[in-house]
A and B are shown apart, each in its own frame.
Chain A
């Protein structure tokens, strides 16, 4: 069981400076996150309010590998004094990862209700789709077609306006 402390920063939450929240991933790893960073997640915000402080909050939907990165993201976004341009560059690096990981981030951001991370990652997937033909999209995401070639031709013909 490894414990990875978040990067130390001067972020102080209104209630209790540097109060640490413990999180437990689906595979049993424990992580600590500063309260200010944890408040980026609406899910965690609700749980903290309900006074689950003390025992690690179980997050059965998020693996340790992903949770570590989510903690890193939230901590960075809670840091004071980071200018917009630097943060954007940091975000771009953060999502410069394998496709599978981006999807894991999306699911984690959705479960934990972290709007900034959700927006960022959904934009990445949208960028993967934009400008591609359906064939290219299928290939890129490994999606099997359920239509036979004739059926697909029919669907395209019916909706020709989308393919002009």
Chain B
């Protein structure tokens, strides 16, 4: 018996695909909730969005326990449903949702009794359109306008909400003032300086707010910092790095004004950086002690240096794929800088670059990647790219391919490039005549998952089984996204898979329909 679920989850909202929704209700008459100790119930309620936790106040078994939750998650997507809109369409100002959201936060904070808050999360669109409308007739000077906005109304309230969390020694602070709004528009909420001087914070995430760059930044306990759509300068990033001596993970996405990311700290282990579209100059990344680097966005602007300790890396692009080969010498440089990592993750745009190179007989830079993870669609436009990388990676031992749904590479109107190159139809792998070093010598494990019910997948797997002479294990699975695959389809696929000839006598083939 399936329950109705109302999840107005936003772009990042994960509707947990738990098997629990299929679980039968417990036997009639047994209230198991009451049998659980309070501390457990509080733990369970703390896992819920604040509104859901608060609603349990009408259920006697929960009573007023919700007022003691230690994680407060306020996400306006429970009131603002834009899941039906395409990514192009920006939401118009949703005043109703904002006022219901603000009321929820006020009430929950007013009634909260727990002495300690571990995590505090706010996500809503801080749009000051309405405030602007009200203030316009006053004909204020820009500075006066900014002061009024900063102190009045909503901004003042948000300050008090954050103060509340800080007064309870909050450890994880996640503030997203963009939500589904248009980026880089007008006035932003200004974060009060005391946040950046907290000695309790271990994780801080800020999206689309103004940070007072002249104030001191001292967060002695901070391990994880994530900044998105924040206007920075080189000094400010340096201030963050200097002021957070135990920082382990740094993420900087679409932050205009970043030119250099220098950090020699032994503590910093991983960096994620995505130069934004407005970036004019190069962005230099020099962090000799980090183990893990993830780059995306306009990676053409990146300059990578001294990454000698790097062990794993991930590459993605932004959406605007222009098939001019010369532009991809930047990508070539980046792949050369990353040639020594052990684990490389590639998303589907970089694979398209490899396709272009393959069709022009340019090899992917030689490398010593041992584990390659591809997160990509699998269309005929991606196959030459995959062939290229397989041929250029003689040390490859593990290949993981996660297939995302999609039939055509580009969403935007860049289809012109698709016509420029002649990509053969039919089984691409049967036409491959050059040898693949890693397949003969190294490749031991292959995992394929995701949207696997496609000819391209079958053909690729057939090819790998035939050519990988030291293969130990091939696992093909449909998880984690639910797909509506019939038992019959599943069996047919599985039978085909198991029937393919294997170049490696000890290869084990596993098919899992999770």
Contact = CB atoms under 8 A, between A and B. Distances in A.
Given A97-B23, A144-B60, 15 more contacts: A99-B24, A100-B30, A103-B36, A107-B35, A110-B39, A127-B21, A129-B48, A129-B56, A131-B7, A132-B4, A138-B59, A142-B28, A142-B30, A161-B103, A164-B100
Contact of B56 (A96, A134, A164): A134
B4 A125 contact: no
Interface string B10-38: 00000010111101111111111111110
B5 interface: yes
A96 B514 CA distance: 12
B55 A89 contact: no
A110 B41 CA distance: 12
Interface of B: 3-7, 16, 18-21, 23-37, 39-40, 43-45, 47-49, 51-52, 54-61, 79, 100, 103-104, 107, 479-480, 514
B58 to A, nearest CB: 5
Contacts of B36: 103, 106-107
Interface string A92-126: 10011111101100110010000000100011111
6 contacts: A99-B32, A124-B20, A132-B4, A134-B55, A134-B58, A141-B26
Contacts of A102: 20, 23
Contact of B59 (A128, A134, A164): A134
Interface of A: 89, 92, 95-100, 102-103, 106-107, 110, 118, 122-134, 136-147, 152, 155-156, 159, 161-164
B307 to A, nearest CB: 24
B51 A131 contact: no
A141 B26 CA distance: 7
B54 A159 contact: yes
Nearest to B15: A131
A69 to B, nearest CB: 16
Contact of A141 (B33, B57, B58, B103): B33
A147 B61 CA distance: 12
Identify whether the interface residues of A are mostly helix, strand, loop, or mixed.
helix
A156 B58 contact: yes
Nearest to B479: A89
Nearest to A134: B58
Identify whether the interface residues of B are mostly helix, strand, loop, or mixed.
loop
Contacts of B52: 129-132
Contacts of A144: 31, 60
Nearest to B49: A130
Nearest to A151: B58
Given A99-B24, A110-B40, A142 B55 contact: no
Contacts of B32: 99-100, 103, 141-142
A123 B60 contact: no
A89 B514 contact: yes
Nearest to A125: B44
A49 to B, nearest CB: 24
B81 to A, nearest CB: 13
B47 A122 contact: yes
B40 A129 contact: no
A136 B207 CA distance: 35
A147 to B, nearest CB: 7
Contact of B48 (A97, A126, A161, A162): A126
Contacts of B26: 98-100, 103, 141-142
Contact of B107 (A106, A143, A161): A161
B104 to A, nearest CB: 6
A137 B31 CA distance: 11
Contacts of A95: 19-20
A131 B404 CA distance: 27
A101 B263 CA distance: 50
Contacts of B6: 131-133
B58 A100 contact: no
Contacts of A96: 19
Contacts of B19: 92, 95-96
A130 B3 CA distance: 11
A106 B47 CA distance: 15
A126 B21 CA distance: 11
Contact of A162 (B5, B30, B39, B104): B104
A95 B56 CA distance: 24
Nearest to A145: B60
A35 B464 CA distance: 41
Contacts of B480: 89
A71 B37 CA distance: 23
Contacts of B51: 162
Given A98-B24, A110-B37, A127 B18 contact: yes
B10 to A, nearest CB: 14
Contact of B25 (A97, A99, A129, A147): A99
